[in-house]
Amino acid sequence: MMWMNQPVPALLVAGGEVDKLPLQLLVVFGFAKLLAEVAQRLRMPGIVGGLVAGIVIGPSGFGWIQYDELLHAMAELGVMFLLFQVGLEVKASELVRVGKVALLSAVLGVALPFVAGWAIMVAAGHPQIESIFMGAAMVATSVGITAQVLASKGVLSHRTAQVILAAAVIDDVLGLLVLAVVSSMARAGGADWAGLAVSTVVSVVFVLAVAKYGSRTAGLVVPRLTQSLRVDEAEFAVAVTFLFVMALLATYSGVAAIIGAFLAGMALAETASHHLHTLVRGAGELMVPFFLASIGLQLDTSVFRSGSTVVLALVILAAAVASKWIGCGLGAFSLGWKDAARVGAGMVPRGEVGMVVAQVGLKAGAITQPVYGVAVFMAVLTTILAPPVLNFLYKGVEPVPRSSPPPVELG
């Protein structure tokens, strides 16, 4: 029907158009929450509803909302608060204990998807650089979706959740390194190995330094700073400022801002009060729906008018799920096959990370529009498929209670 593809009509007041911002926010937030409610009533994770909402209201559905710079900014803020909230539930010492398993899972979870994506594209007759970009798009994990599923089930302290979170941090560094290599190849026909080496060292040092010393430093500085301030909700103000500082430092060091947000939360986990957890959770409830909907909004089904493109998309999707699940699962096999399956499934979502790689390739002229559509399809569908699979795999796993943080005196 024709009306389904028409944009939401502008509101008129006193003969003039109202700014589209309130209407845009209402449609995105309202539909994300509405379909999250529907998903939960169907015994599915609420985040599936948020993802589907983006598809329904976006170019592939009614066409009411276009993904623009405003929604991109809202989505980035949403995923930062999501990872910050997850970090507040995780202690650095717990991640260190699973370091070896996480490292092996991350490495295998990068190698297998890259080779699979490259091989499929080459076999389909695509150019070498386009095949390499598809492999790179299949490498990195978007931990935000998995983290929210694990948090909602109360299993962030489970050993598999610790492996997933630690592996995702390592995965991010490796994924950005792969992206840097293929981007250099697209621009100049070869990679700047010296620059890549420096960037890798800086990234690794940043992550390790924050993981090792962040909690100790934050435990000394943040409570004293909070007590000395007179502003309302001083602890929240200090924590959010710290979140943005860490996100900025992360980007300067060569890793994603969301990893900085996660590390910020982890550094504060030892000292955060219950009140801070409540405030951060409230901020997340406001912002995270925009992140979830943004993933669905970026799916454009118009590129799938060709049968060969549809087949390629389905093969890439199957390879993306299988290679990540098997690779990361093999890395965690020492935990037993059930936990290995959970780790593998938790690393499957590509989310916004896979789409960023595809966008870089498209802007560089290294991939065509149909291949870009295939990459986005893979990123969106792996993100939608993961929550119900995780829900099934963690069925029967009892929530692990988080130890109550020590109270923090507010100034």
For position 189, what pLDDT does the model report? 54
The CATH class that applies to domain 18-393 reads mainly alpha
CA dist., res. 403 & res. 22, Å (int) = 40
For position 270, what pLDDT does the model report? 81
User: Tokens representing 205?
Assistant: 């040092």
Q: What percent of the chain has pLDDT over 90?
A: 25
User: How many C-beta neighbours within 10 Å does residue 23 have?
Assistant: 16
Q: What is the pLDDT of residues 117-167, one digit of tens each?
A: 999 999 999 988 889 889 988 987 877 778 878 888 888 888 888 889 888
Q: What is the dihedral of CA 189, 194, 196, 197, to 10 degrees?
A: 150
16: pLDDT strictly greater than 90? no
Higher pLDDT, 402 or 3: 402
For position 291, what pLDDT does the model report? 87
DSSP H stretches of helix in 58-158: 69-88, 92-97, 99-123, 128-137, 143-152
The domain segmentation of the chain, as residue ranges, is: 18-393
CA dist., res. 145 & res. 196, Å (int) = 29
Q: CA 316 → CA 124, 126, 361, distances in Å? A: 11, 13, 17
Q: What is the pLDDT of residues 243-270, one digit of tens each?
A: 999 999 888 877 778 778 888 988 898 8
- Tell me the three state secondary structure of residue 403: coil
Q: What is the pLDDT of residues 193-238, one digit of tens each?
A: 666 677 667 777 887 788 778 888 888 888 888 888 888 888 999 9
Residue with tokens 């978007």: 142
Q: What is the pLDDT of residues 59-117, one digit of tens each?
A: 888 989 988 888 989 988 988 898 898 788 777 776 777 778 888 998 999 999 999 99
Q: CA 269 → CA 79, 114, 193, 231, 406, distances in Å? A: 18, 34, 37, 22, 10
SS3 string, 182-209, reads HHHHHHHCCCCHHHHHHHHHHHHHHHHH
CA 378, 183, 131: angle at the middle one, nearest 5? 45
Start-to-end CA span in the chain (Å): 59
For position 339, what pLDDT does the model report? 92
Q: What is the pLDDT of residues 270-299, one digit of tens each?
A: 888 889 999 999 998 999 899 888 888 877
